Structure 1
């Protein structure tokens, strides 16, 4: 582990540390706290426009622009009057290209104070990258880590983000990729690419509660909203009427069959009984550009492996994991076949072991100490 205590700031344009939804960036932050570092989590791209998109951070509206310490992490949600965004309209996107630099320069004393004090700034994929010039202007000694959880094309990032990343590559100390399959997107950062692992916090998984399901019922669970495809359930559920399908935090409304139960977003630890005690795990991703990296980076599918669940996912996300059963999105025949194979595999899967998030966090912060994760 890294011996010296560092001041580490996370910048995200999508997540706040305090949201119920847990992504790997929050877990890495926890890992660095466990390792003894001082950690701050700054959330950006939050404004009155967020009320129109159902932003998961809206419950923090009245707590924005204030520092709050949670689990040893200083949290700050920077709320502005408006923020730039990716649009489907070409003319609007052209305008946004001009607004991103303006937004990146908006004054905020507290935001700048976090950056001035940082030894490391860990930037989550996509929009937060627009602040790299500001970071270096305020704190030339800070090391910038680009934590690439997703490909920009897959999440529909504005073209300006990629342009700015490539222009500012010299400001980046290194890039941590959630999957080596993403490396082709980062040719401009050659020599700085490292693999980021998936981790498990043993305490979270040690005392998972009792089953939330009725005794003797076969269940299938899906957790999360990324690239959520409701078509899977509309095709699968009627063909498996004896299976209860549970969907947690999908962020979408759709015409669901009667044996599909849709739950609101939950705290991470509250989802674990649903995962542990399920018969099958589902990762219902819909196709998007370059989604193959999800075979390595999907948090839900890693949790399914940890609990020894057979899982069902699109063919592009199967990878080389034998406990995953693939289907062609929108194809009823292949969906039914994958579900049948997964149900038959229950009890035959060997659980996978993982690093702790503290170990993962050290690899994100100091990858040069781990030659085996160097990609190129």
Structure 2
């Protein structure tokens, strides 16, 4: 018997893509734990081709339900979708299109939302659907999953404005860092759930993909990716091979930088587990300090006992992270040197399993430590 129906809504991710963010991990864990889980992926249209969207391989599978790992997946493809232009005048002209998009008809979307017990709305354009969710299903528990700050990821101002207008419809906000709390002055329903790691994912990662004796550094992911870091670091450390996985683009760099296409989560694990050090090359962005507590790649490096190099705004109070100032060649060299020297001496960190994080997301009232201190 199902524990309940949970719908996840994302404007960036589809459950079937190779990349694995926390929303994928939680959805998978809840499905394995007995919940009836659906994953609705939005903001996908012909415009997605110009952006190199990671979901393009699903183009012909859009607008129909497909079950993967026991999860009902639905990629909502529309003729066009609204977006942030980065220009104040153009953004003002774009705002009414967000309102129109939120009302576009789709029978599968509406049926999915109408039947849910919980609707988890990832921090993104998906927030404009709150009113639609409530209209279709007034009894559903709507959870805003604050994986990122809207300003940091460059969301259109309308999204934040609509989120504030519809704040009363949100049962609770689930954050990964209390540093994000000031964004929710409108809510007294703030919770923090943290990260999960499933040890079984790392029990059979396989042999090293690196040559014997080779010092290596690995970066996985595309969020706020700073290619300039690798130009500085690779030139300063020609004996270190820098592996960049799934950054979403090609760029000019020294020959000791190897760029890999996006790959399935499990395929990345040998690269991470056998690397000498990890790298989280984030660009500076508004309010980006929360990444010190929300970066999944940094958490994975901690779990595996790997020293990590990252911008100084993302080091937090983690001693195994070596911070640098973006675009400062001297500080980048110092950070990489410090991490390399620490290799082999970092103790692994234990995290809760994703199944527990999923329960904390749905029912934070059962976990007193999710509440503000």
Per the normalisation by structure 1, the TM-score is 0.98
1:159 corresponds, among 149, 157, 160, to 157
Offset, 1:201? 1.9
User: Is residue 310 from structure 1 mapped to residue 310 from structure 2 by the alignment?
Assistant: no
Looking at structure 2, the residues matched to 271 and 280 of structure 1 have their Cα atoms a distance apart, in angstroms, of: 14
Looking at structure 2, the residues matched to 159 and 32 of structure 1 have their Cα atoms a distance apart, in angstroms, of: 32
Offset, 1:34? 2.3
Q: 1:72-91, aligned counterparts within 5 Å?
A: 72-91=70-89
Where does the alignment leave 5 or more consecutive residues of structure 2 unmatched? none
What is aligned with 2:349? 352
Looking at structure 2, the residues matched to 5 and 254 of structure 1 have their Cα atoms a distance apart, in angstroms, of: 47
User: Is residue 246 from structure 1 mapped to residue 243 from structure 2 by the alignment?
Assistant: yes
2:37 corresponds, among 29, 36, 39, to 39
Looking at structure 2, the residues matched to 91 and 332 of structure 1 have their Cα atoms a distance apart, in angstroms, of: 37
Aligned residues: 373
SS at match of 1:213: coil
What is aligned with 2:14? 16
SS at match of 2:119: strand
What is aligned with 1:61? 59
What is aligned with 2:232? 235
Offset, 1:205? 1.2
Q: 1:269-308, aligned counterparts within 5 Å?
A: 269-308=266-305
SS at match of 2:29: helix
Offset, 1:33? 1.1
SS at match of 1:226: coil
SS at match of 2:148: coil
1:211 corresponds, among 205, 208, 222, to 208
What is aligned with 1:48? 46
User: Is residue 258 from structure 1 mapped to residue 250 from structure 2 by the alignment?
Assistant: no
SS at match of 2:186: helix
1:180-221 CA distances to partner (integer Å, 9 max, x unpaired)? 1111111111x2110021111222111111100000000000
1:66-94 CA distances to partner (integer Å, 9 max, x unpaired)? 10000010000000000000002333211
Looking at structure 1, the residues matched to 351 and 34 of structure 2 have their Cα atoms a distance apart, in angstroms, of: 21
Looking at structure 2, the residues matched to 267 and 176 of structure 1 have their Cα atoms a distance apart, in angstroms, of: 27
What is aligned with 1:123? 121
User: Is residue 221 from structure 1 mapped to residue 214 from structure 2 by the alignment?
Assistant: no
Looking at structure 2, the residues matched to 333 and 202 of structure 1 have their Cα atoms a distance apart, in angstroms, of: 37
Looking at structure 1, the residues matched to 264 and 21 of structure 2 have their Cα atoms a distance apart, in angstroms, of: 11
What is aligned with 2:264? 267
Looking at structure 1, the residues matched to 178 and 206 of structure 2 have their Cα atoms a distance apart, in angstroms, of: 35
Offset, 1:35? 2.0
Offset, 1:4? 7.2
SS at match of 2:212: coil
1:184 corresponds, among 158, 182, 185, to 182
1:300-328 CA distances to partner (integer Å, 9 max, x unpaired)? 00000111000100000000000000000
CA RMSD of aligned residues (A): 1.0
- Check the 8 A contact 2:2/2:36 in 1, yes or no: no
2:335 corresponds, among 335, 338, 353, to 338
Which segment is superposed worse, 83-92 or 117-126? 83-92
